[in-house]
């Protein structure tokens, strides 16, 4: 009986660890994608600002 309870506890712990690992990996992938999107947006905004400054300097 104790062996059955112990094996059930071990399986429960293993399932929890596997779920945690899958969730952690999904979070890491989502975070990396979000960071790449933010980097791309910042680069786009920097280039747009540079172009606007050049156009403004040419007009002045």
Locus of tokens 């999904």: 26
pLDDT digits (tens, 9 = 90+) for 8-31: 999 999 999 999 999 999 999 999
Mean confidence (pLDDT) of the chain: 96
Does residue 60 surpass a pLDDT of 80?
Answer: no
Does residue 47 surpass a pLDDT of 90?
Answer: yes
The answer to pTM > 0.95 is no
DSSP code, position 28: H
Assigned token pair, 26: 């999904």
Assigned token pair, 47: 């280039």
CA-based R_g, the chain, Å: 26
Chain centre to alpha carbon of residue 58: 41
């Amino acid at each position: 009986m104790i062996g059955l309870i112990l094996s059930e506890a071990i399986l429960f712990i293993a399932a929890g660890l596997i779920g945690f690992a899958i969730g952690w990996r999904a979070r890491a992938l989502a975070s990396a994608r979000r960071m790449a999107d933010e980097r791309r947006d910042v680069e786009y905004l920097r280039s747009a600002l540079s172009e606007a400054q050049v156009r403004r300097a040419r007009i002045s």
